[in-house]
Amino acid sequence: AWNACLAGTGVPGWSDSLPSWEPGQAVATRKAGSACIQALLDFVPGLMGGGADLTGNTGTTITGHGVQGADCPEGRQIYFGVREHAMGGICNGLALHGGTLPVCGTFLVFSDYMRGAVRLAALSRARTVFVWSHDSVGVGEDGPTHQPVEHAAALRAMPGLTVFRPADANETAGVWRLVVESDGPSAILLTRQDVPVLAGTSDHEAVARGGYVLADSEGTAEVVLIGTGSEVAVALDAAATLTAAGRAVRVVSMPSTDLFAAQDGGYRDSVLPPGVPTVSVEAGVTFGWAMWADRSVGIDRFGASAPGGEAMTRLGITPGAVVTTVDELLASRQ
């Protein structure tokens, strides 16, 4: 335990403590992330942190281990206050000192307030874990000011920062396994809303590849759908409609474009076969997806003040929109 604490990693068997969920449940990935943190506390002795006055909302509560302060210097829960940039800087200092795995959380839209600290984490290879929840227009009625659309793309553009957007609870657990083993900063983008626990997402080795085949066609695929986060379920629903119409469809979950890009060409080609039309689905700007997709279903505008599901529909993040995009793409190639 002493060596694990000094290294900021886990004691032997730590990865077995990560929870798992049965397909068919509906769990917000922020809640799954919270369950992962709680499960790891007794196995990763250096794990500590909190949120910028949004600890409960982001799932970054550290329970049962004291609150950091003059009367409890060993406390692992830190109340940073509404100071996102300071929070990031404090966690970078903890990470660079060594012996800790610091976690800091806020809403994804507020990652802009701490971008300088995030950039320094990437520059310094600090093992800071940035947990950003409420990761899309699925936030709902708070409206465009609180609905991130450009943020995932902006974070992916930063060298040295590994960005994750898990599809469901089990992918979230797989992401946390990678985060504990990481040698640099990690960003975990999580949903406010419940999302279905999907079949096939509990293979942590597949998640570690950054992208993998989640559902495949019986024969050679004529189109590939790439989904991230909550939109993996949208891609699966679209694939079901397309399959019923006689299309051969593959669905790829891509929790980390960074890790997928780092794979060898043979693996990438096995997931995204060259020459096969590809459509990405993500509730954010389409900027950056041209690297992997021929067409993109996304949101190239600010959001809308409406319940989360209605906002998704109004802004075109639906299985029907994906089906239409696929039909148009395949028609253009005939």
Residue 156 half-sphere exposure toward CB, CA atoms < 13 A: 24
Q: How far apart are CA 162 and CA 157, in angstroms?
A: 10
The CB-based long-range contact list for 198-203 (8 Å cut-off, 24+ gap) reads: 198/23, 198/167, 198/168, 198/170, 198/232, 198/233, 198/236, 199/23, 201/167, 201/168, 201/170, 201/171, 201/174, 201/253, 202/20, 202/170, 202/173, 202/174, 203/174
Which of these is catalytic: 84, 171, 231, 282?
84
Strand spans (E) along the chain: 26-28, 47-51, 101-107, 129-133, 162-164, 186-189, 194-196, 212-215, 223-227, 249-253, 278-281, 295-297
Work out the end-to-end distance of the chain between its first and last CA atoms, rounded to an integer number of angstroms. 61
Q: 47 — phi, psi (to 5°)? A: -70, 125
- The radius of gyration computed from the CA coordinates of the chain, to the nearest angstrom, equals 20
Q: How far apart are CA 81 and CA 116, in angstroms?
A: 18
Q: How far apart are CA 36 and CA 300, in angstroms?
A: 33
Look up 84 and say whether it is catalytic.
Answer: yes
Cβ 315 vs Cβ 283: under 8 Å: yes
Catalytic residues: 84
